[in-house]
Structure 1
Amino acid sequence: MSAPTPPPAPSSESTESPSAPEAQENAKTAESRRKKTLGVAMGIGSAAIVAALLYANRSKRSGK
């Protein structure tokens, strides 16, 4: 029986840090995602506030 062969060494490409253009692109993508998430969160929050105000004032609106 022969000894098992070791797994291949990782290539230098996978352990290298991203180049400057790639890093800038990743930063832009992360910033864009953050802005989109913030916008969605603000929209949901605003809708919740409007719904709460409508619910709280419903007796005043319907004349009861």
Structure 2
Amino acid sequence: MSDESEPASGAKPDESSKNKKRLTTGVAVGIGSAAIVAALLYANRSKKTDKDGSR
């Protein structure tokens, strides 16, 4: 019978925890970067229309 404290893949618990933390950090950085880009595009949107004179 297998020990419940070890993951099924055979990896050590510390390695699994580190991999999960890295994945979570990577996802958070990606979402944060996308939010910053979206905010910059939104902020610069009004400046582009002012140069055209259409507003």
TM-score of the two chains, using structure 1 as the length reference? 0.61
- Equivalent pairs counted in the alignment come to 47
Q: How does 1:6-45 map to 2 (within 5 A)?
A: 21-45=12-36
Matched residue type, 2:43:
A
Unaligned runs of 5+ in 1: 1-17
Quick one: percent identity of the two aligned structures? 13
Aligned partner of residue 57 in structure 1, secondary structure: helix
Q: Which runs of 4+ in 1 moved over 6 A?
A: none
Report deviation, 1:62: 5.0
Unaligned runs of 5+ in 2: none
Distance 1:22 1:34 in 2: 18
Ranked by relative contact order (alpha carbons within 8 Å, sequence separation 6 or more), the top structure is 2
